[in-house]
Each structure stands twice: as C-alpha cells, then as structure tokens.
Chains A and B, each alone.
Chain A
C-alpha cells in the first residue's frame, strides 16, 4: 500500500493539454466555403423564374451547413476560426439570398429589411461581446441557432411561394425577442468562464 502510494506520488503531474494547431485549409472549412458556390446558381434560377431550381439550390446550401459540422468531427479539425467562418458564411449566404428574393419580388420587402437590420444588430452585439470578453469566441445561443435554421427556411418559402407573407411577418417578431434576450446576456449578464481550448488556426 505504502509502496503503491509512493509510486503514485513519484509520478510526474500530467502535462496541461497543448494547443493543437489546425490549418484553416481543412476539409470542414472547404465544405463551408463551397456553400458560396451555390449562390450564382441560385441567382440564375431566380432571374429565370425557376422556383423549383431556386429552392433546390438554397436547400443544397443549407445541407452543406450540416455537412461542414460533420466533416469537422470526422476529420477532427474543429477550430475557433472554423466556427467564426461558419457563422459569417451563414450570414452572408442567407442574407444575400434574402436580398435577391426581395429584389425580384419573391419576398415581401418590409419584413426582409427588418430581418437584415436585426441580423446586422446581432452581429454588432457579437463583436461587442468579443471585445468585452477579450476572446474571439463564436457566442453560442440556443435560440439563435433555431432562428438561423428558420432563416434558411424563409428563403425556401420565398422561392416556393409557401405561405410567404405568414412566415415572413412572424419571423422578425421572433428574431426581435431573441436578439433582445441575447443582448442582455452579451452586454449585461456576468461573463461565463472561458470554454476549453479548441484547435488554433495556423
């Protein structure tokens, strides 16, 4: 017993986990970047009035959003850069598609503008949070995750004419509530402890 205790105390303390360097040129980020390739085809379909094709291309864009997370887990290449890149790609792809739908009269203009303004406000809040927390984390909000999925749906709803006015007018109401809730968490509530370190982009 004493010998085993002596043996255990003589072992060196486990080293702290080292920061693993993950290249930004990894399969997960490649899948994320490939989402931009669907946008020219989407614009082509909207411009020609092909509703079904436009719906298909925005569906592919949404599906690739799921595949990049899967690729990050399979290839073990998750990084802070990848998380931020994913969030930025979400905003750019869905924001651009919403603007195109509104420009071609496929989506009502007023709620589309409200959604974009609220989206920009949410991005500004995230920057303010990063400055306050002194770390460039992709702020996690369970409610906003659900609304991002709803945004993907909104574009599909606009391209297919599936109760467009109903879905578009209810969305800014939900988004305003969630942005107000997240604003309180990011700007007022105490900061949560720093998350476990992820891979650092090379």
Chain B
C-alpha cells in the first residue's frame, strides 16, 4: 500500500535528504563565518563553533549519501 509512486517517493527522499542537507550546509557555513573573530576563550563561542562544524559534516554526509543513492559516487 503506497502513498505515491516509487519514482515520486524516490525524488521526495532526494529532496528531503539532499535538499535539506544543502540548505543546512549553507546555513552552518554562514553561522561559522559570523563567528570569525569571536573570542575563542569564551566556552559558548567554542561550543557554537564545534556545533556548526558538526552541522557541516552532517550536511556533507547527507549530500554524499544522496549522490550514492543515485549512483553518482
């Protein structure tokens, strides 16, 4: 019992994983750029920087996974 056809579902997943990963990548790169010059001795700044880097890594994992799903990698 399907909601939509397999092809539509496949492209829906591509948009969901690949599209949101791409948006997330841009968002966290922007966040990280804004922190340039911030005081690295501040624990909150360090935590935010680490969080944004993790976000960028997760986004890259999402993009590579989407490419693998379509046989591009």
Contacts of B3 in A (CB 8 A): 52-53, 56
Given contacts A53-B1, A162-B65, A162-B69, contact A157 B17 (CB under 8 A): yes
Verify B17–A162 contact, CB threshold 8 A: yes
Contacts of A189 in B (CB 8 A): 43
CA–CA, A167 to B62, complex, Å?
Answer: 8
Residues of B near any A CB (own CB < 8 A): 1-4, 9, 13, 16-17, 43-44, 47-48, 50-52, 54-55, 57-58, 61-62, 64-66, 68-69
Given contacts A52-B2, A52-B4, A166-B65, contact A192 B44 (CB under 8 A): yes
Verify B54–A192 contact, CB threshold 8 A: no
Contacts of B4 in A (CB 8 A): 52
Verify A146–B43 contact, CB threshold 8 A: no
Verify A156–B16 contact, CB threshold 8 A: yes
Contacts of A153 in B (CB 8 A): 17, 62
16 A-B residue pairings within 8 Å (CB atoms)? A48-B1, A52-B3, A53-B3, A55-B9, A144-B51, A146-B51, A146-B54, A150-B58, A153-B17, A160-B13, A162-B17, A163-B69, A166-B64, A170-B61, A185-B43, A189-B43
**A178 at the binding interface (Cβ < 8 Å):** yes
Main secondary structure of the interface of B (DSSP, over half): helix
Verify B43–A142 contact, CB threshold 8 A: no
Shortest B55–chain A CB gap in Å is 5
Size category of the A interface is 20 to 34
Contacts of A185 in B (CB 8 A): 43, 47
CA–CA, A104 to B55, complex, Å?
Answer: 30
Given contacts A162-B13, A163-B65, contact A174 B43 (CB under 8 A): no
Contacts of B47 in A (CB 8 A): 141-143, 185
Q: Can you add 8 more A-B contacts, CB < 8 Å, to A143-B54, A174-B54, A181-B50?
A: A52-B3, A142-B52, A143-B51, A146-B54, A162-B17, A167-B61, A174-B57, A189-B43
CA–CA, A164 to B58, complex, Å?
Answer: 15
Shortest A150–chain B CB gap in Å is 5
CA–CA, A166 to B54, complex, Å?
Answer: 17
Contacts of A146 in B (CB 8 A): 51, 54-55, 58
Closest 10 pairs between A and B when the two form their complex, measured CB to CB? A142-B51, A143-B54, A143-B51, A146-B55, A52-B3, A163-B65, A163-B69, A162-B13, A52-B2, A50-B1
Shortest B65–chain A CB gap in Å is 5
Chain A stretch 39-66: residues in CB contact (< 8 A) with chain B: 48, 50, 52-53, 55-56
